[in-house]
A and B are shown apart, each in its own frame.
Chain A
């Protein structure tokens, strides 16, 4: 120990986010007091973000296998076979805490991190998506966060050169102190050329590639594993700074040296930087790793071993290079102007040894660093069930057209054009379905295949009933992929929750995971990657439970893709699936009646599957002209979105006399799709629905320039569009002009 390093005290241990019993565990494991650097390494490996210590036990219940799954959770990203020798590589990851503290860099590096996860596997990123949750629009910080996060995502993705094709944006006061930034990336690789973190071979060079190491982001993962209190903004130095230009170069250089056969194992330096990447490569391959930090390319002088091991500087990679390939690999990296340094070797000792300036700064058992991380079976309580809302008992003073006008211009439903126009969604020239549809569709190379992708979750449902909410998030992602005509293949989950040390919050996590597992199993939609973000709390108040689901599916022929816009006048509008008028936890209840209560709509998974299979078949057989899933906002919001996308109105029949009209039009029953059919196809579509045992009802006919429900005031589509498009630009402009 050099004397300048701080003495290990209980206070220092606590500052590293380690509980006293966790420190005892370290002492037992290594049989001595850790060095300062070792303490830092443990804090990096054993925080919630890296060790999943609160969630690991429950993540085991998720279905992760299917014949088309090449790689499930545990690697940088999940990998699925999409046929023709190609694989889709994808994952979603949160960058919530940093994005609150420093929205531009926090969101940008979130995008950078997930892109790196994908190209580390040998895939070229072909699309990015993001799921964003902000606080109440009236909260003084919200506007600043929206502006910064959106600019940060665009600033990184646009420069890197990946189209940002879809996502979701929602507002709720429960995110006031903890906005969520969940970034997803999808890449394309040859199915037989996937690269992994597992190192093989003793005495091989461990190579550092990319940008230099600085002091940014030290303890970023530890910060992301704690609640916020007053003064969260003071944590700004723990946020990394992104350089999309360096990342673009790193992408090209990595793909080039992979192609040249130089790479044995590869791991990007994300959370917990060099520590986590080196330990993972060694531990997965049953090898030791020795690092010589004197060789590390540093941006700043005088960096200590502790700082180098914990830096979260961006755009860096660690690789094990094949014997005799060092020179070739170095030449490729130098061509791209990136750093290349041999910083260590693989060993057969199963020890993680770190040397700096002639001293051993760390000497730890490599497998135990990961395997022996604490695992908690935290106490949890089930969320109490709520009653089903009886529409007859509601005191509704609004009119149907009035309620629709308010809903369509409300923050959650208003057009997000102001946001997605800041993202380059067209680069690579493969964006077949642009933002605004049910799922984005990106052509695979020159076609005819396409990948459909979407992000979904309804946090209100998850809060009221975590199990049903978890199911619904998966079902909705599956439904959105189906609605464009694609076969849903697999999902990635980004689990955002509050403090797991509270039994109620832990109950939300457990419930949502069980729901996700049930739906993923029933719908053959396995989980192949994911990320857990806990401690999303400020001053003791947690976010709504938000398990964001990112789904990916394949469309065999993009020419058959369905879109949601009405195509022509005079077509019949049908709803497939049963409408019971379920208003509990609906957007109508929340926006119009200002109450968030009742049981959320249950998802009948068998019915969900049957209905989806029917719709997909109708699309592939060219029997329907427009398709839109029915989600929050119910039938009338879905119909409005179809009208807005096309400029064509509709004449709609009055609801069945035995049903409350608000419940009929705004109820959020699951497993439903609206389709339009030409008169020649109508009989066949009805027959196919009957054969499948799926209820079908005629809602009306397309045509005209207004939405007109029999007996109600007609609304001009262009007037609805004005409301729909107005809210966000006005809201943002008010703070900027």
Chain B
């Protein structure tokens, strides 16, 4: 698997996701600078990491979405290539039009770092094939602007097309939109593109891969990607 992790000025979880990819796939990803205009030859997976690209100034993800490298990412996605945007990466994917909707400030207006319970809504995607359908997993969140929102038509479409891949749930496995930690519409934590090749995800699977540090629920997401790419 050849993966590339983008580095924008202000990215800060690029090391975490690179480490997770290395740990699970055995291969170190290429680190690609935002000012570059091409991805390394043969890139299978592009990761947009967490952080505060360009300081989150203007609007989170808005400046990064216009970085030189993003043209290549759009072309990669259009070819059906895999793209994973985590946290700030998700915000950038929304701002760049690769995913619908937007991430706004958390409902309680505070940054929040804690473990969140998520339901894996389907396992027939390259990102989730190693999870059971409906599995409840624990990933940490660490964001100030993770409150997913979109117009009613878009939300309806996402639901109808089964494009909500991860949803925040209560300990009993049910979703409670009134209590969701950041206020996200329909308790949405992660959505995929129509062709299922672009995932935007607020929580951080890359921080739950190492048994020495904590839970390992995030590992299967990276294992799914390795599996999907080996098969391909």
User: Which chain B residues border A422 with CB–CB below 8 Å?
Assistant: 110-113
User: Which chain A residues border B13 with CB–CB below 8 Å?
Assistant: 161, 427
Inter-subunit contact B10/A249 (CB<8 Å)? yes
Inter-subunit contact B213/A245 (CB<8 Å)? no
The size of the chain B interface, using a CB distance under 8 A, is 31
Inter-subunit contact B9/A336 (CB<8 Å)? yes
User: Which chain B residues border A443 with CB–CB below 8 Å?
Assistant: 212-213
User: Which chain A residues border B57 with CB–CB below 8 Å?
Assistant: 245
User: Which chain A residues border B19 with CB–CB below 8 Å?
Assistant: 429
> With the chains together, A293 CA to B144 CA distance in Å?
40
Inter-subunit contact B12/A427 (CB<8 Å)? yes
B209, closest chain A residue (CB) = A429
| Other-chain contact of B142, A245, A426, A447, A558 (Cβ < 8 Å) | A426
Interface hit among B48-56, B75-83, B165-173, B183-191: B48-56
Q: Which of A222-258 contact B (CB under 8 A)?
A: 243-246, 248-249
Inter-subunit contact B9/A421 (CB<8 Å)? no
| Other-chain contact of B113, A337, A426, A432 (Cβ < 8 Å) | A426
> With the chains together, A105 CA to B197 CA distance in Å?
41
B177 within 8 A of A: no
B204, closest chain A residue (CB) = A426
> With the chains together, A243 CA to B114 CA distance in Å?
25
Q: Which of B12-33 contact A (CB under 8 A)?
A: 12-13, 15-16, 19-20
Inter-subunit contact A425/B51 (CB<8 Å)? no
Interface flags, A393-427, vs B, CB<8A=1, else 0: 00000000000000000000000000011111111
Interface flags, A424-448, vs B, CB<8A=1, else 0: 1111111110000000000100010
Interface hit among A151-159, A190-198, A306-314: A151-159
User: Which chain A residues border B140 with CB–CB below 8 Å?
Assistant: 426
Inter-subunit contact A429/B213 (CB<8 Å)? yes
Interface flags, B78-104, vs A, CB<8A=1, else 0: 000000000000000000000000000
User: Which chain A residues border B110 with CB–CB below 8 Å?
Assistant: 151, 422
User: Which chain B residues border A558 with CB–CB below 8 Å?
Assistant: 212
> With the chains together, A427 CA to B11 CA distance in Å?
12
Inter-subunit contact B16/A432 (CB<8 Å)? no
User: Which chain A residues border B112 with CB–CB below 8 Å?
Assistant: 421-422
B53, closest chain A residue (CB) = A245
Given contacts A429-B19, A429-B210, contact A158 B55 (CB under 8 A): no
Given contacts A422-B110, A422-B111, contact A245 B210 (CB under 8 A): no
> With the chains together, A404 CA to B206 CA distance in Å?
40
Given contacts A159-B55, A245-B10, A337-B9, contact A429 B16 (CB under 8 A): yes
User: Which chain B residues border A243 with CB–CB below 8 Å?
Assistant: 55
A333 within 8 A of B: no
Inter-subunit contact A421/B212 (CB<8 Å)? no
| Other-chain contact of A249, B9, B20, B56, B111 (Cβ < 8 Å) | B9
B147 within 8 A of A: no
B128 within 8 A of A: no
Given contacts A154-B111, A245-B52, A248-B10, contact A424 B213 (CB under 8 A): no
User: Which chain B residues border A161 with CB–CB below 8 Å?
Assistant: 12-13, 51-52
> With the chains together, A465 CA to B9 CA distance in Å?
50
B202 to chain A, nearest CB (A): 13
Most buried by B among A158, A336, A443: A158
A559 within 8 A of B: yes
Q: Would you mind naming 19 contact pairs between A and B with Cβ atoms under 8 Å apart? A: A158-B142, A159-B52, A159-B56, A245-B55, A245-B56, A248-B9, A336-B9, A337-B9, A420-B113, A422-B110, A422-B111, A422-B112, A423-B111, A426-B204, A426-B214, A429-B19, A432-B212, A447-B212, A558-B212
B residues adjacent to A (C-beta < 8 A): 9-10, 12-13, 15-16, 19-20, 50-52, 54-57, 110-114, 140, 142, 144, 204, 206-207, 209-210, 212-214
A158-B111, A245-B56, A420-B113 known, 12 other contacts, Cβ within 8 Å:
A244-B52, A246-B55, A422-B111, A422-B112, A424-B113, A425-B113, A427-B12, A427-B13, A427-B16, A428-B15, A429-B210, A430-B213
